[in-house]
Structure 1
Amino acid sequence: MDSTLKFMLLLIFQIPAILVSIIIFIYFALDSTVRSKPKNHIWLVLLILNFLALVSDLPMSMSYYYQGKIWVKNDGYCVWWNWYESSLNTLGLCLMAWASIERHFFIFHSQTIMRVRWKMWMAHYIPILLCFAWILIWNFVFIVVPPICDNIWYFDQLMCGAPCYYTVDNGIYIMIEFIVNIVCPLGVITFANILLITRVIYQKIIHHQAVNWRRHRKMTFQLWLISSVYLAFWLPNTLAAIIRLTIMPTFFIDQYDTLIFIIYFIPLLLPIVCLNTYPELLKKINKTIRRRIARNRIGISTVRNVH
């Protein structure tokens, strides 16, 4: 795919993604009920990370695609870019994996776990903090201050190329990272979603609780919709990498850059997908749009009557 086309695609999606993110943040800020619900915390954290990617990480890649070279040619910038983008990508994946597990607690154990303070900390807040700690520390050690090699950066490549630990000791460290930070979270997301749908349907059949069914269905649909964004754009690259590492070293090697590029669509599409999981917010937006249209029509009619 041509670099100019990549730049245009990112720019086209970036602007509405930023606007939708701001609308959702305003919604959370003004509605204390929505903001205080623990089930919404993980989405808010993901959206904040996503917003950082939109306004501070994505522009670095867009600059590269537009100019065909690195904007700031120094090692510090390359270290920052690698650490920042790698952290945002894998942290989002880790948090999404935990959100998939946590949703089981909210649906099936809301009375026994989520209502007890210390259990709430153990099952809600601490896992989020552990995701941050693990990802940020791992990337700091292996990208910022690598103890096993010296980084060499290339100013004509995206993200200045790869950190040196990718090739040290036959790539054992990148293999560990690939399995722990990418394959495992994707596996958890997939399995947890399938299990959740199965459990919700089973509970519906066994207990016939209409009220809980509607609530459970809404929470399950929200998780499935948001996690689908991560699965749709991470799985192609991950499956291709697994095949290359195991049976066919040249598999999809010519499409490698494209598979990496499509991961940028996660922050571009996530705000729009999240917006569709909050029907109350959509109703408010629709009402606001209708009122403005009605006012414009009244204004136009008034002007015509005057003339």
Structure 2
Amino acid sequence: MLVAKDLAVFDDNTQRFYSFQFCILLSLIVPSILASLFALYSLILDPNFRRECHSYTLIVLLLINLFYNSMNISYFIYYFHTFRTFLIAPMSRLVWGYFDWQIYVLQILLYAWFTIERHILIFHDRLLTTRRRRLVIHYLPPYFVIVYCFVYYTFVFFVPSCINNFSRLIRPGFFPCAFRNTTLFLIALFIRVLYQKHRVQQPVQWRRYRKLIVQILVISFLYLVLPFPPMLIQFLHICGMSTSVGSEFSLRMIFVSYYTFLLFPIFTIASLPELRAKLNKILLCLQCTVQRINNTHIVYMSSNRVRIVRER
């Protein structure tokens, strides 16, 4: 297969940085895919999860995440390791960029809706009392987001008003504002909970909504911590700091956004106590199985030694 090598366009520091990215992505992708499969299996096949409204968007996010990790992250692992791209033809690079951008932004927009949905479930659950309301308010918005991203990026990539440059395959430096919006909406949601408690002078039903709040806090940690350094540098540039300061750091921190995809399934399991308990049972069973196999092997070896000694 013909390949194109981009090694010559990178300096030694960039090559070392890409090698470091290769090690991190390679160490995370297998646990991430296994966590996605386990979470999807539990959420889809378990009737208790399947009947809950708040599991619907989470299942869609996990499906998109699994597809992105299996396709795009695997390609980046190959590229960071070999500095070679098998996307030689301009159209193949265009199609790859189309799916990369579309799924990347789609996941962020869906998670923004995920936070809005939690707000509705906590404060306006009466909006979901009828079947028609659940269809309009709960089930249709994710489809609208998916269709919007599909149409928008189809026009951006395949009906451009300019000429695309395919000379190098380098990830563009794009930080969607949904990163900030999701975090701000999370803070607003938490303040709204406390304000509602103070206004009506009665305790919020923490036991009822605790799982939703803990889930969104745990998962939103990814959207707050990982993109914060490049966001801070961009903010300082807007405030007047020289663009030469921190520009190289910002370009390299672009790849940190991929950790969100890789860690999302793991954080999802960590945010759901039912999935954590089920995973602990599976790991305990595997540990017992391995221990039984080891004990059987030890007994077998001991019996063989006794038999050999007797024969002598």
Aligned residue type for 2:55: N
Aligned residue type for 2:280: N
1:235 deviates by 3.4
Q: 1:243 to 1:130 in 2, by over 3 A?
A: farther
| Equivalence for 2:207 | 214
CA contact (8 A) 2:43 2:55 kept: no
CA contact (8 A) 2:211 2:272 kept: no
Q: 1:255 to 1:135 in 2, by over 3 A?
A: same
Choose which of 83, 86, 99 in structure 2 pairs with 1:68: 83
1:292 deviates by 3.4
Determine the C-alpha separation between the residues in 1 that align with 2:124 and 2:273. 25
| Equivalence for 2:270 | 276
- Please provide the CA RMSD for this pair: 2.3
CA contact (8 A) 2:29 2:69 kept: yes
Alignment of 1:90-169 (within 5 A): 90-110=105-125, 112-146=126-160, 148-155=161-168, 157-159=169-171
| Equivalence for 2:247 | 253
| Equivalence for 1:22 | 37
Tell me the matched-pair count. Answer: 283
| Equivalence for 1:226 | 219
CA contact (8 A) 1:113 1:119 kept: yes
Please list every run of 5 or more consecutive structure 2 residues that lacks an aligned counterpart in the other structure: 1-13, 304-312
Determine the C-alpha separation between the residues in 2 that align with 1:303 and 1:242. 61
| Equivalence for 2:9 | none
Q: Given the alignment of the two structures, is residue 79 of structure 1 paired with residue 94 of structure 2, yes or no?
A: yes
Q: 1:302 to 1:52 in 2, by over 3 A?
A: closer
Please report the TM-score for the alignment, with normalisation by the length of structure 2: 0.82
Tell me the secondary structure at the aligned position of residue 152 of structure 1: coil
Q: 1:290 to 1:62 in 2, by over 3 A?
A: closer
Q: Given the alignment of the two structures, is residue 190 of structure 1 paired with residue 183 of structure 2, yes or no?
A: yes
Determine the C-alpha separation between the residues in 2 that align with 1:125 and 1:279. 25
1:61 deviates by 1.8
Determine the C-alpha separation between the residues in 2 that align with 1:65 and 1:92. 23
1:305 deviates by 5.7
Please list every run of 5 or more consecutive structure 1 residues that lacks an aligned counterpart in the other structure: 163-173
| Equivalence for 2:194 | 201
Determine the C-alpha separation between the residues in 1 that align with 2:131 and 2:37. 31
CA contact (8 A) 2:183 2:223 kept: no
1:74 deviates by 0.9
CA contact (8 A) 2:69 2:262 kept: yes
Please report the TM-score for the alignment, with normalisation by the length of structure 1: 0.83
Tell me the secondary structure at the aligned position of residue 292 of structure 1: helix
